[in-house]
Amino acid sequence: MSNDRSAAQNRIVQLSDEIREYDHQYYVLANPTITDLEYDRRLRELQDLENQFPDLAASDSPTKRLGDQPLDGLAQVTHRVPMLSIENTYTEQELRDFFTRTEKLLPGESMQWVVELKVDGVAASIRYENGLLVQAVTRGNGEVGDDITHNIRTLRGLPQRLMGDSIPRVLEVRGEVYMTNADLVLLNEQRAQAGDAEFKNTRNVTAGSIRLLDSKICSQRRLRFFCHGIGFCEGIQASNHMEFLEKVRALGIPTTPNVCCFSDKEEAIAHCNHIVETLHELDFEVDGLVVKLNSLEQRETLGTTSKCPRWVIAYKIEKYEAVTKLLEIKTQIGKTGTVTPVGELQPVELAGTTVSRASLHNVEEIERKDIRPGDWVVVEKAGKIIPHIVRVEKHRRDGDPPRYQFPTRCPECDSELVRDAQGVYIRCISKQCPAQWRQRLRYFATRDCMDIEGLGEKLVNQLVDSEMVNSFGDLYALTLDRLMSLERMGKKSAENLLQGIAASKERGLSRVLNAITIRHVGQRVAQILARRFGDMDSLVAADLETIGSTNEIGPVIAQSVYDFAHSEEGIELVRQLKEAGVSLKTSPEDAVDMQGALAGKTIVVTGSLIKYSRDEIERKIEQHGGRCASSVSKKTDYVVAGESAGSKLEKAQSLGITILSEAEFDALVSSEAPQ
């Protein structure tokens, strides 16, 4: 018997350690190392051994995640450090106001700003003592919350025993309990089979589950946890938030992903606006971003109001959801051949507009979310981002419809489609694809490119579909008679278009480089190349090393430009443009006056301008040798201020920087002293 007991004890320890490591790999590192079936077999074996030898079961055994006996009620717990709410903002200007307030409270100090995802779940505080999870509490009213320890123990991604050697005596982490969309889909399928009502969203499930008295039910909900903050601690040393998160991760606690830190507030704002466009890639709900000071000492200095900390703000996103039917999946071909799937929807009201299409982004998203034509889907619109599909309502799926098969050949030209080396995007690489050519011709005519007025989408389609324009050379060879042969094309419209095409010949090299769709070359890169090389012949003659040595031109861009210049397509395109009389030299617009009034100066533009668009004034600054910056600092030489200039103007005034109106700016670049 003693041998059986000894063997059981060794096996229990072995299985417990293995399962904890599997949980860490799966939930924290997102790198599962065994199948679900193998995991379940080990967990059942451990549970059987603990049932046979109950006194050998550890208090932090992985089997505790399966739930204990139901409680009679939830106890009330007072937070040792209050869990205050966060001030909310919905506009970029309000976010800027937060930065301004913070800077005034910390005059002259350098600051770093952390940007985190605001996970849409339920806030909780989890306490470890000597490495063991001892208590978990909801936020409640900020002072007192509900004891939910029994349910928090069921979260497989959260360690009941901390990892590593440097275990703090007391560690209280704050964070968000949440559910993934994939797990909600699975849960609703199970509930539909059992005849139970489905859950509407992940937050409602989480909020209800975490307060259940029966932890066995909570354990079936597959809830998870992300740490994003610190409560009362003893024995953990960190001077800033990023360092704290690193130490917490080393202890085995999952932290909010994709956290970034910035020294420049303008970069932080730009990151906020950019990351909103990538939220569809996440499998959990996010209702905004959190911006906070990185320094814990500066946070202590700022303190709190009666309701909120002064060092943090939530930049929230207005989100709208609706359920509708996915009728079919179509594909669109971009100007570089990228094939983008688009969902055609049964029209539905969303944020005051009727939505009938939703972006599906790429084939991986369709596969990850298991989206199939005929499915009922949850469609979301967040901020200014086009609608996208959040998840499939699989419990409403009729039978087992076939999975969507991404085309292997271009739906427009029947060429073979090729997956990118990165494995995300699929492209048509045919140079004769009419769908690509339509998109390229449309882009060629836009304002920042060759600026051909009248060459819009409908006319481009006519020109391409009639095979009247199969190249840029054909565009410049158009005649009045040929144009008037098109449907609904009058003489005056045709004459105006020909005038616009003729005028485009003088736009200059940077406009041409932007217009002809070289991969990785946009307006800014085109200007840099035009100023460096002066004309197309010099650029074509340059070797890869010379192109790559250009300031701001990295190796990927350099290789793309070099490959284009030496490809059959590139050589033929340049020949056609030369033959058509298109200027392939730097234009006055691209020229830089390094002796001008702005040579070597740093200029920030802020507020609403009357005479110039933002692109136009920045282009003019660069033409006169100046450098455009996004934020005001001691190194700023001038600030050009329009109406409603805001915090940048205030900072410039406090630093004694010269402020220019539009008229004063014009006078300065004309070598006249500003009044």
Active-site residues, by number, are 118
Angle at 11 between CA 221 and CA 30, to 5 degrees: 40
Strands 170-178 and 224-234: antiparallel
To the nearest 5 percent, what fractions of the chain are helix, strand and coil? 40, 20, 40
Give the Cβ contact number of residue 253 at 10 Å.
25
Question: What per-residue string of b and e applies to 472-504 under the rule 16 or more CB within 10 Å gives b?
Answer: bbbbbebeeebbeeeeebeeeebeebbebbeeb
Q: Are 381 and 324 in contact (CB under 8 A)?
A: no
**Paired residues of 174 in beta bridges:** 125, 229
Q: Report the alpha-carbon distance of residue 632 to residue 392 in Å, rounded.
A: 46
Q: What is the DSSP letter of 114?
A: E
Q: Which residue has the tokens 């307030």?
A: 101
Which long-range contacts does 244-249 make (Cβ < 8 Å, 24+ apart)?
Answer: 244/296, 248/171, 248/173, 249/28
Q: How far is CA 564 from CA 509, 514, 569, 581, in A?
A: 15, 13, 7, 21
658: left (phi over 0), alpha (psi -120 to 50) or beta: beta
Q: What does the alpha-carbon distance between residue 498 and residue 193 come to, in Å, rounded to a whole number? A: 66
Q: How far is CA 627 from CA 380, 522, 624, in A?
A: 40, 18, 9
627 neighbors 602 (Cβ within 8 angstroms): yes
Of residues 66, 76, 71, the one with CA closest to residue 214: 71
Phi, psi of 318 (to 5 degrees): -75, 120
Q: What single letter denotes the amino acid at residue 654?
A: S
Residue 304 bridge partners (DSSP): 309
19 phi, psi to nearest 5 deg: -65, -40
- Other Cβ atoms less than 10 A from the Cβ of 107: the count is 7
CA distance 326 to 572: 44
Question: Is-contact 621 662, C-beta < 8 A?
Answer: no
The 3-class secondary structure across 1-22, one letter per residue, is CHHHHHHHHHHHHHHHHHHHHH
